[in-house]
Amino acid sequence: MEYYGLLFIFNFSGKGEEVFEKLRVFFKHFGVKQNRISARNKKVFAISVKSRTDFWKAIEKFIDCIISSFEEDFAIFHASCVCSRNFSFVFLGKSGYGKSTSAKLMCDAGFDFITEDTLFLGRCGIIPFPKPIVLKSKRTWNIFLPERVPKRPPKNIVFFFLKRKPENYLDFKMKIKSIAENLKDVKNFEELESKVIELGFIRKIPKYKGVEMLLRSIYNAKKIELSWVINKLSSALFLEI
């Protein structure tokens, strides 16, 4: 029998106590033992489960609890994100469309990791949320935790809409690798758009349409003021693969 352990350490400040109260439901569900440690305003929890799948389900449920505590502060998207020195690249699409695969391949090519599955966009830009990349298959979950995570991702944002589930994953991976190779060192939008045209398999989406599509993708759209989100997206580039 395999066992997987998970240790949570909370250092509370500001909104921390409020978040902790919401997490009580999570810990109660998993029968977690609570232990206090001497450091002020800290609590430690331990979790143990019998399979890797249960372990990662526990982490995902835990993350969902945290996300729900910040729904009014950020626009939240179902997306993955990596960055180069000058650009943040966001991949959006339904489950199974290749968001996690895209993030993994881009990181393998030297891009920095920002987030997988959950993207936070705030008034100050994209917020790093580096939970592990989980590539799911019928038999197992392959888990990766990239080493490079920037504190402040570039404010120049490129959104890639993945329009359908890949019919040929080898072909899809080759396209993402081509994107990584050609866009890693671009310095400005003009150079980037020129590279996109050369690649040939990427379609540029009009800005008004891209903003409209993105607003429909916001997980918590009813809980935030959309005007600042629209303003934040006004300088972004929208593409479709």
Task: Name the amino acid, one letter, at 198.
Answer: E
Enumerate long-range contacts of 173-180, CB under 8 Å, 24 or more apart: 173/101, 173/105, 175/201, 175/241, 176/98, 176/101, 176/102, 176/105, 176/106, 177/105, 177/109, 179/106, 180/105, 180/106, 180/108, 180/109, 180/110, 180/111
Q: What confidence tens digit (pLDDT) does each residue in 102-140 have?
A: 999 999 999 999 998 889 999 999 999 887 787 876 666
Q: pTM higher than 0.85, yes or no?
A: no
Which residues share a beta bridge with 26? none
What does the pLDDT average to over 171-187? Answer: 97
Contacts of 87 (CB under 8 A, 6+ apart): 154, 156, 157, 158, 183, 186, 192
pLDDT value at 160 more than 60:
yes
Q: Where are the domains of the chain?
A: 4-68, 75-240
Q: What confidence tens digit (pLDDT) does each residue in 73-108 have?
A: 899 999 999 999 999 999 999 989 999 999 999 999
What's the CATH number of domain 4-68, 3.40.50, 1.10.3720, 3.30.1180, 3.30.70? 3.30.70
Sheet holding 33-36, edge to edge: 4-11, 42-49, 33-36
Nearest to 203 by CA among 233, 231, 175: 175
Q: Find the helix packing angle between 52-68 and 16-29, rounded to 10°.
A: 150
**Helix/strand/coil (H, E, C) string of 83-139?**
ECCCCEEEEECCCCCCHHHHHHHHHHCCCEEEECCCEEEECCEEECECCCEEEECCC
